[in-house]
Amino acid sequence: MYYFSLFFFYGVIVSKNTKLTRSEIKRQDIIDAACQAFQEFGVQATSMDKIAELAQVSKRTVYNHFATKQALVVYLLNEIRTRTLVDVDIDTTYDPLRSVESKLLTLITAEINLYSCGHYIDLTRMAFGHFLYHPEELKRELDKVMTQETAFQRYLRSACEHKQLNIPDIKFATDQLQNLIKGSCFWPQFLKIEAPLTDEQKHHIATESAAMFLARYNNK
């Protein structure tokens, strides 16, 4: 929860430190208002009227920037994923003074914290409700995601270059690991068939996932 809240309270306002146009300022106000409302009231219970009220702009202005609430949700999901998994401030260069297992554990934990977060799951649930009826839009969004190299993938590439890992296909290996993680940390909670994970459960999943990954791809 902390991981996601940090994005909400700090990540979305970082661009205000740069010079923005009037339209960009309003767009940022809308995004900040949506984050506040989603956190306070939940995604489903938040209306575009509420977002306009919190942003102190007209409802028409909100729709000028985001045609639907689903579009706003998708934007937030992409931003959250980019900031936490792609542009995250973690050194992804192989360090001979730190074990591969320790580094993998850090990066895997970051993914688990994102995918198991209740707010992230709520946003995803909202987006899926829309994409089920618009599969072409889902494909476009997935195509965007596939073009982004994550911090995890960058580290794997570096470790392979230093002969610490032997991974023939980094994308395939990453997909394998993500499927493993989401099978315990996302889908059961998304479908509401299991309770949110405890910190102990997250640590256990991260440790076992790293061990399984290394059992297959460790070069030693």
Q: Which two tokens stand for residue 211?
A: 């061990």
Distance CA 40, CA 45 (A): 10
The architecture in CATH of the region 69-217 reads: Orthogonal Bundle (1.10)
Please tell me the pTM assigned to this model: 0.80
Instruction: Answer yes or no: are the C-beta atoms of 29 and 57 closer than 8 Å.
Output: yes
Going by C-beta distance under 8 Å and a sequence separation of 6 or more, which residues neighbour residue 6? none
Per CATH, 2-65 and 69-217 having the same topology is answered: no
**pLDDT tens track for 141-150:** 778 777 888 9
Q: Is the CB of residue 86 less than 8 Å from the CB of residue 148?
A: yes
pLDDT at 2: 39
The pLDDT of residue 14: 43
Residue 17 has a pLDDT of 52
CATH 1.10.3470 fits 2-65, yes or no: no
Q: What percent of the chain has pLDDT over 90?
A: 54
Which residue type occupies 40?
E
Tens-digit pLDDT profile for residues 157-185: 999 999 999 999 999 999 999 999 999 99
> What's the whole-number mean pLDDT along residues 182-204?
95
Would you kindly state where each structural domain of the chain is located, as residue ranges? 2-65, 69-217
